[in-house]
Chains A and B, each alone.
Chain A
Amino acid sequence: MDLTFTPEQDEFRAKVRAFLDENVPQSGLGGRHEGRIDQSWLANAKAWQRKLYDAGYVALSWPKEYGGQAMDPVQQAIVNDEMVRARAPFLIGGQGIGMLGPTLIAFGTEEQKRRYLPKVLTAEEIWCQGYSEPGAGSDLASLRTRAEIVGDEFVVNGQKVWTSAAQLADMMFCLVRTDPDAPKHRGISYILIDMHSPGVTVRPLVQMTGEHGFNEVFFDGVRVPRKNLVGNLNEGWIVANATLFHERNMLGSATGSHQIFNRLLALARSIKRNRRTLADDPVFRQRLADLEIRVTAMRFHSYRQLSDQIHGRNPGIESMINKLVGTELNHDLATAAMELMGDYSMLARGDAYALDNAYWPYEWMFSLGLVIGGGTSHIQKNIIAERGLKMPKSR
C-alpha cells in the first residue's frame, strides 16, 4: 500500500488544475442538464476538447504515434479527477476516446489507427456507437443489420436504435451481420461507417428528460469500404466485447460520484424542516452516511484497479462490477436528493421555483438511463455470475 504521489505527479496535478481553473468554459456548454444541442453548442463543445487536447490533457496514455503521449494511467487518472473537481464539461468525443480508441488500438490495422485515432482526440471527427437494434437490446448478438460483401465494399441495410449523438457524429463503429447462416455470435463483423454516406438516415428520439440525445439510424444500401473492417470477418463479437468492457468502465467511473455526493450534502444542509437542517435529521444522516460510504468504497475500488493496471496485475472479477455499482450508486444519490427536496422535486426545468434549475430531477432521470445503457444491471449481473463466478449459462 502506497498512497503517495511522486513530486512529478503532484506537479503535474498542479499544472492541470491551474489550466482548468483558467480555461474551463463558464457558459455555452453548461452542465449537461442545461445543454441545448445545436450547431453552435457543437462548435463550442469541439473547441473545448481541442483546447484540452492542445494543452496535452486528452487520452494521455495512448501511444504517441496516434496522437497520445504514452503517459502512465496515473496521469490520466489525475486529469480525470481534476476535470471532475473543476466541473469541466464532458468531452464531445467521449465515445471515440473511451470506446472506439482502446478497441482500435487493440484490434485495428496500422492504417486504421493512423487514419482515425488523431481525429478522435482533436474532436475533428465525432463517433457514435451502432450496437442496439429494435430486436437486439440485451440480446445484442441477435442483431440483424446486414452487410453483404460486394466487390471490395460492404453494402449495409438495416436499422440501429438508441444511438447517442448520431445526429452530431461523422463516423459510427457498428456491428453488422456478415454471415446469416452461422451461429449468431459467429456471423457478426465490426465495421466503421461514414455517417455522411448516401443511404444513412438519422431520426431523432426524445428521451424522458425531454432532450434529443439519442436516435434511430437507418441504412439503405450504404456502401462501406472493406478496409473499414476491424478485426477479422465474422469475428466482430470479440471486438465488440472489448468495446463493451471499455464502455462499462466509462459509465461506471467513480470520479463523478463524489462530486454528486458533495452536492447532495450541500442540498441537505440547505433545507430546513422541524427547525433543523436535513443534514441534522438522524434518519437522513444515516442515508447520507451510507451513500458516502458506498461512494468512498468505489473511489478506493477504482484506485485498486488503477494500481493493478500500473503494476501489471491481471484484473479479476472486481473489474466486472464497475458499471453495475457505479451507475446504480449515482441513481441512488439522485433519488436521495429527490426525496430530500420534497415537493420541489416535482418541478421541471424552467419553473421559477425549481431548485438549481431542476438539476436533480434531470440527474435522477439521466442516471437511470445509464443504469440501462451499455447493458442493463440485469445483464451486468448475468455477466458477473457467468464470466466471473462461472455459474452455468441459462441460454
Chain B
Amino acid sequence: MDFGLSDEQRQLKETARDFLRNECPTTLVRKTMADADGIPRELYREIAKLGWTGLVVPEKFGGAGMATLDMAVLLEECGYAAMPGPFLFSSAIAAHALAIGGSEQIKSRWLPALAEGRAIGTIAIVDENDSLMPRDITAAAAETASGFALLGIKMFVPYAHLADFIIVAARVGSYGGEAALFVVETATKGVSVKPMNCLDLTRRIARVELDGVQVAPEARLHGEGLLERVADIGAVAIAADSLGGTGRALEMAVDYSKVREQFGKPIGSFQALKHAAAEIVADLEPARALLWYAAYAQSELAAEAPRAAAMAKARLSEIYSRATDRAVLMHGGIGFTWEHDIQLWFKRARFNESYFGSPTYHRERVAALGDY
C-alpha cells in the first residue's frame, strides 16, 4: 500500500519544474502568445530530447512506454508553467489514443515520429453542437470502396493548424451508426483549417471542415468504448494541467500578499486574504489525491477509470477556476491588467473548465456511472 508518487515520479516532477522554470518563463509564454503559430519551437526541440514527447509511446515505437500517472506528473508541471503549444494534445492524448487503438500501420507511421517530436497530432471530438456524447456526434464517415469518406465540421480543435494528423470522431455509415475515431492527415484533400480566436492565448484552437475526406480502412482506430476512453484520457490530462495551474495561482497570490502593503502592513496579514488562500489549499490538496487516483486508474484499474476520470475532471477544473478568481481578486487592480501574469492562468482555467467536458457534464456522469 503506497498511495502517492514513486521516487522516480517525484524526481520527474522536480526535474520538470526546474527545467520549465529556466526554459519556459512567462516571458517565453508571452512571446509565444504573440506569435502566429503559438508554439515555442526551441523549447519543443528540448522536450523531445528529454523524452517527454515519447513518454506514453510504447518502447517498441521508440517511446518510454510509461503510464498515465507519469504523464500526469509532467502535465501538472506544464500547467504550473502555463506551457504553450500542443504538448498535452499531441503527446498525452493523440499519442496515447494511437497506442491503444491504432492499427500496426498507423502506429508505425506516427508513433516514432511523435516520440521524436517530428510530428504533431491532435484530437477532434465535438462538432458544432459541442457534445462529447457519442450519440451526439454528427460528423459522418461514409464507407466507400477504398475506405471512408469523412464529412462534417469539427470545432475547437487544438493546434489543428500545426498538426500532421487529427484524430476525428465520426459516425460510421448512415444515421444511427456507431461513433468511431479516424486518423485524418491534415494534408489530405478536403481538410480545411480555420483558426478560432481563443480567450486563452497559451492555447490555439481551430474549426476543421472535412469535405468528403478520403481515408484508408486502416485509419480507423479500434477498441471497446474507445471514443469514451480517449475522452477520459483527455479529461485526466486537462485535470493534471489544472492541478499545476491551481498551485501556481495560489503561489502567485500568496507571494504578492507578502510584499504588497496597505494600511501600513502586508495585505497577507489580513484574515480576508488568509482565508481566501487557505480555501484554495483546502480545495487543492484533496483534489491532488483524486487526480493521482484517476491517472493511476487509467493504466491499472479499467473498471474504475471512467468514473475516476469524471470525478477528477469535474473537481480539478472547477477548483482551478475558483482559485484563479480568488488569486486575481487578491492582487487587486494590478491583477486585472494585461501586463500582470495572473491573467494567463485565469484564462487557462477557463479553457480547462470546458474542454473535455464541464464540471456539470462530469458530475452527471459520476451520478450515472454510480447508479444514482
Q: Which residues of B contact A289 (CB under 8 A)?
A: 314, 363-364, 366-367, 370, 372
* Min distance, Cβ B52 to any Cβ of chain A, angstroms: 20
For the A-B complex, the count of residue pairs with Cβ-Cβ distances under 8 Å equals 161
Partner of A300, one of B254, B271, B286, B363: B286
Q: Which residues of B contact A268 (CB under 8 A)?
A: 372
- Specify the main secondary structure of chain B where it touches its partner: helix
* Min distance, Cβ A174 to any Cβ of chain B, angstroms: 29
- Tell me if B363 and A385 are in contact (CB < 8 A): no
A1/B268 contact (C-beta < 8 A), A385-B278, A388-B281, A389-B281 known: no
* Min distance, Cβ B71 to any Cβ of chain A, angstroms: 13
Q: Does A226 contact B (CB under 8 A)?
A: no
Q: Does A285 contact B (CB under 8 A)?
A: yes
- Tell me if B364 and A286 are in contact (CB < 8 A): yes
Interface size class of A (residues with CB under 8 A): 35 or more
Rounded to whole angstroms, the CA-CA distance of A3 and B246 in the bound complex is: 26
Q: Which residues of A contact B254 (CB under 8 A)?
A: 389, 391
Q: Which residues of A contact B311 (CB under 8 A)?
A: 292-293, 296-297
- Tell me if B1 and A9 are in contact (CB < 8 A): yes
Partner of B281, one of A9, A306, A313, A384: A384
Q: Which residues of B contact A53 (CB under 8 A)?
A: none
Rounded to whole angstroms, the CA-CA distance of A280 and B265 in the bound complex is: 52
From B3, B268, B281, B282, name the one whose CB has the most chain A CB atoms within 10 angstroms: B3
Partner of A297, one of B6, B268, B286, B367: B286
Interface size class of B (residues with CB under 8 A): 35 or more
| Closest residue of A by beta carbon distance from B369 | A289
Q: Which residues of A contact B266 (CB under 8 A)?
A: 392
Query: A180-220: contact bitstring with B at CB < 8 Å (1 yes, 0 no)?
Result: 00000000000000000000000000000000000000000
Q: Does B93 contact A (CB under 8 A)?
A: no
Interface pairs A-B: 5 shortest CB-CB: A385-B274, A300-B289, A297-B286, A381-B278, A303-B3
| Interface residues, chain B, with chain A CB atoms under 8 Å away | 1-6, 69, 250, 254, 257-258, 265-266, 268-271, 273-275, 277-279, 281-282, 285-290, 292-293, 296, 300-301, 311, 314-315, 360, 363-364, 366-367, 370, 372
| Interface residues, chain A, with chain B CB atoms under 8 Å away | 1-6, 9, 74, 265, 268-269, 279-280, 282, 285-286, 288-290, 292-294, 296-298, 300-301, 303-304, 306-308, 310-311, 313, 317-318, 320-321, 324-325, 378, 380-382, 384-386, 388-394
21 contacts between A and B (CB under 8 A): A1-B2, A5-B1, A268-B372, A286-B360, A286-B364, A288-B372, A289-B363, A292-B311, A293-B314, A300-B289, A307-B3, A320-B281, A324-B282, A382-B271, A382-B275, A384-B282, A389-B250, A390-B258, A391-B269, A391-B277, A392-B265
